[in-house]
Amino acid sequence: MLDNDLIRLFIPIISAGLVSAGFAGVTIQQDFQPTRQGVPVSSSVVAFHKISDYRRGARGNTTVFEEQTQTMVTTEIQPYETTFQVSGLLRQNPSAVGYTASDLINTVAQIMQQEKTLTILNDANVGILKIGDIRNPYFFNDHDQNTASASFDFTLTHNQIFVTSSEQVTRESLNVYRV
């Protein structure tokens, strides 16, 4: 499964889960886009980016001869663990009672381990290996205010499937003659 396939799988899960948990109007976006940087200032943001791929175990290999096309089709399956980081930002007003970036990210972590989420992922042959601890570091934002940037990592297990084909090789015979 390719990166964008994984992303298309978990974004709707997070989006629907946040709405059902009462977090309406949260923007979900991928970090480090080539055309736009920055955080929308008018809303809460859940951002994500890929951290790593880890090839787990040995790859499987099957080769089948396709009669119709007269080709050999080789399918290689490599188990992968892909880790994403999810972070949350929101402009917090200390005088108003509301949720924090940590509340938002804790909710996303909870959504990722719900039974409904596991069922959707399993139906797509994807599993959740682990969901990491919630981190909540602070930084100075562009208004010189302390802002929390809560985050956690989650690791998905899936298979990368590579299919190649080659034309049929005709059999040749070797004859050896005396000189």
Express as a percent the part of the chain with pLDDT over 90: 50
Q: How confident is the model at residue 34 (pLDDT cuts 50, 70, 90)?
A: low
Classify domain 3-167 by CATH number. Answer: 3.30.2000
Is the per-residue pLDDT at 42 higher than 60? no
Q: Is 73 exposed, middle or buried (0-12, 13-18, 19+ CB in 10 A)?
A: middle
Write the pLDDT tens digit of every residue in 144-157. Answer: 777 778 999 999 99
Buried b (16+ CB within 10 A) or exposed e, 90-114: bbeeeeeeeeebbbbbbbbbebbee
Q: How confident is the model at residue 169 (pLDDT cuts 50, 70, 90)?
A: low
The larger pLDDT score, comparing residue 115 to residue 36, is at 115
pTM, whole model, 2 decimals?
A: 0.81
